[in-house]
Structure 1
Amino acid sequence: MTGALALLLGVAVLTGHALVNAGRWLRRPADRPAEVTETVAVLLPLRDEADRVTPCLRALLAQRGVPGLRIVVLDDGSTDGTAEVVRAVAGDDPRVTLLTGVAPPPGWLGKPHACWQLATRADPAATALVFVDADVVLRPHAVAAAVGELRAARVTLLSPYPRILVATAADRLVQPLLQWLWLTFLPLRAMERSPRPSLAAAGGQFLVLDRAGYVATGGHAAVSDKVLEDVELARAVKRAGGRVALADGSRLAACRMYDTWPQLRDGYSKSLWASFGHPGAAAAVVALLLTLYTAPPLVAVGAALAGAPAVAGLASAAYAAGVAGRVVAARATGGRWWPDALAHPVSVVVLGWLTARSYHLRKRRRLSWRGRPVT
């Protein structure tokens, strides 16, 4: 009885925290932003993205409210004709510059090196840098709204999380956990105000930075060997005295991160170990998540079969509170909640398995991404 009550209280507090974050502290860029008068460089790193760069690039070319828009694309050693697709889509648009990347030197991972090449070769007049991944499709006002929010918030780095598109059962189980985790566990207001690098989060799919602040941090050179270069860049910003903010970017951008289960599995496996650091910390966090979100429905069923209705009721309420937390996160970030939130206990189990797989593969030095080792 006492254990079931503790579960209910713990989950209810976390769901309440997510509700406060979503309702009070989560930034939401303007739907109809003012025109941006500064020069903005949108930076697009590509490696074997011929099959999906077209919607992304067309959306960049269709941006409104940014007269000083510059688009810099880096072909990072693609072997599938990505550069040819870029040339075909961009045509002779003077706003677009296509660069040919060089292989990362020792001590660099591929993504940070690609971003660094883009940032250092962007138009010197650009005072804001916008990093976008090839799987992101922006709305026509997205860049203007994101840069406007960067300036309004007076931060160095703004991370507007795109709406994550889901299609398969695996997508629906795993992908919504991204927004749910930071809305549930990260105090957004404290993150903006605190100088502590440990209180930082960011998503590299769509990232907006003040250029002077980016240079002051050392840019991607400061995170050259980091798998989670987006989060580490946010931490570097704080170490340099800058500020970081998260925003709901679901009305600005949409992103389909992975097309298949193997891509999703390997994508999370390559980076989850870096999210937690020490394996002991990962084990503790996963154990806590399983206790809070997977145990309640099991306890409820077991208690009902054992003739303990009070315990079954408390455990069922804890399960419902966990589902409510997923609903809060989905509604706050443009995600799908029905009926996916009902499977939240299963989502947490899958996350635990992916975390264990990540550490297992890292220990055996078998982690790679897009043909490059990541450890």
Structure 2
Amino acid sequence: MIWLILLPWLALTAHTAVNAVLLRRLPRTPVTTTERVAVLLPLRDEASRVTPCLEALLAQRGVPGLTIHVLDDGSTDGTAEVVRAIAGDKVSLLTGAGLPPGWLGKPHACQQLADATKNADILAFVDADVVLEPDAIAQAVTTMRELRVTLLSPYPRIVGAGSALIQPLLQWSWLTFLPLRAMERSPRPSLAAAGGQWLMIDAEGYRRAGGHAAVRTEVLEDIALARRIKRSGGRIALADGSAAATCHMYSTWPELTAGYTKSLWASFGSAPAASTVVAFLLFLYALPAAATPILAVTGSGALAVVTLCAYLLGVTGRVITAAATGAKAWPAALAHPISIILFARLIARSFRLRRQGALTWRGRPV
């Protein structure tokens, strides 16, 4: 009967495996679409890393109706000059307006870009740290129309700082805890997920949902927008975009810490809810690894085997996620308990700085 203890770990790992099989994937072959697609690229102080992103956008193929719109959101590092040097008149370069009261920076920049786009069928929001393969936009449009969804979130392969320990936790959490097919079918706004690095949105559905103006105060504007789309009658889907795009989110651990700290507090609704989630994750994925050697040396051999199996099931979930999303599994999967502990510390830091009113991003208060 002692083995019944493992049922939660077995169930969650099995759910990860099922989701990995069901995960939507973009076509792996070149495709062509007649849809009019507007790529919208908001920039703020991105002179040092916008070049690969912009060059990849200019190299897109299979979308004859593609236009590229770039917004310089008050940059002070010469971002606009870099864009002009790379793209010239191949893109529409806008100068962002000042941030109005009641708006956060990214929603305001995205809304300005959307407002400047009049004739597109699909809006493709792309961050400056994303580099798309030449057929990525066409492949995403094809997938989006085949699924008949309003919003498609093709999650890119993450590289850079934290790409082994911290960054894969997002995909792992989706595959482990989120019923992907039910999310697609359900009209419930609470059952929604999206990654703002690269979003494909039907233009009419975007306007019907209120656009970014409807999520102007949201730190996690991507998830909030997905929920608004559901509320307006639209459908959403996640897809593995690892073969079509890479995202170099953070170059250093301090950058990663700052990036996660600014937004993690908004992921849980409240501090008590966050505490509950953290305790749950630590119990499931950190405690077994710590308990196994202690139980083994204190003579509780059978229970030590159970906790070892629980730890290995957690590792298996990370391996399945890595295989499904184009990430490297080893040796990071073995350090899954460490990933969970680091994540818990980032959550605590986010709530602490939120209470102190000390959260900022790109020189603006959050």
TM-score norm. by structure 1 comes to 0.96
2:140 maps to which residue?
146
Matched, 1:128 2:122: yes
Alpha-carbon distance in structure 1 between the residues aligned to 2:30 and 2:12:
33
Matched, 1:21 2:19: yes
Q: CA deviation at 1:34?
A: 2.7
Stretch deviating more after TM superposition (297-306 or 31-40) = 31-40
1:244 maps to which residue?
236
Matched, 1:98 2:93: yes
**AA of the residue aligned to 1:109:** L
1:198-252 CA distance string (max 9 Å, x none): 0000000000000000000000000000000000000000010100100000011
Matched, 1:52 2:52: no
**AA of the residue aligned to 1:119:** A
Check whether the contact 2:31–2:135 (CA below 8 A) recurs between aligned residues: no
1:257 maps to which residue?
249
Q: Secondary structure at the match of 2:24?
A: coil
**AA of the residue aligned to 1:245:** A
Matched, 1:82 2:79: yes
Matched, 1:347 2:345: no
The one of 215, 225, 239 aligned to 1:223: 215
1:54-106 CA distance string (max 9 Å, x none): 0000000000100011000000000000000000000232xx10000012201
Flag structure 1 segments of 5+ consecutive residues without an equivalent. Answer: none
Flag structure 2 segments of 5+ consecutive residues without an equivalent. Answer: none
1:259-309 CA distance string (max 9 Å, x none): 111110010011111000111110000000000000111111111011111
Matched, 1:69 2:66: yes
**AA of the residue aligned to 2:282:** L
Alpha-carbon distance in structure 2 between the residues aligned to 1:34 and 1:145:
6
Runs of 4+ residues over 2 Å off in structure 1: none
Matched, 1:323 2:315: yes
Alpha-carbon distance in structure 2 between the residues aligned to 1:217 and 1:157:
11
Q: CA deviation at 1:46?
A: 0.3
Question: How many correspondences in the alignment?
Answer: 366
Check whether the contact 1:12–1:322 (CA below 8 A) recurs between aligned residues: no
1:194 maps to which residue?
186
2:287 maps to which residue?
295
**AA of the residue aligned to 2:143:** E
Check whether the contact 1:201–1:246 (CA below 8 A) recurs between aligned residues: yes
Alpha-carbon distance in structure 2 between the residues aligned to 1:327 and 1:12:
14
TM-score norm. by structure 2 comes to 0.98
**AA of the residue aligned to 1:114:** A
1:112 maps to which residue?
107
Q: CA deviation at 1:5?
A: 4.6
The one of 173, 177, 182 aligned to 2:165: 173
Matched, 1:206 2:198: yes
Stretch deviating more after TM superposition (72-81 or 34-43) = 34-43
Alpha-carbon distance in structure 1 between the residues aligned to 2:150 and 2:89:
33
Q: Secondary structure at the match of 1:69?
A: strand
Q: Secondary structure at the match of 2:286?
A: helix
Alpha-carbon distance in structure 2 between the residues aligned to 1:289 and 1:202:
21
Check whether the contact 1:5–1:315 (CA below 8 A) recurs between aligned residues: no
Check whether the contact 1:5–1:314 (CA below 8 A) recurs between aligned residues: no
Q: CA deviation at 1:256?
A: 0.9
Alpha-carbon distance in structure 2 between the residues aligned to 1:39 and 1:104:
29
Alpha-carbon distance in structure 2 between the residues aligned to 1:260 and 1:240:
39
Q: CA deviation at 1:33?
A: 4.2
Q: Secondary structure at the match of 1:174?
A: coil
**AA of the residue aligned to 2:41:** L
1:43 maps to which residue?
40
Check whether the contact 1:33–1:148 (CA below 8 A) recurs between aligned residues: no
Q: Secondary structure at the match of 1:40?
A: strand
Stretch deviating more after TM superposition (51-60 or 299-308) = 299-308
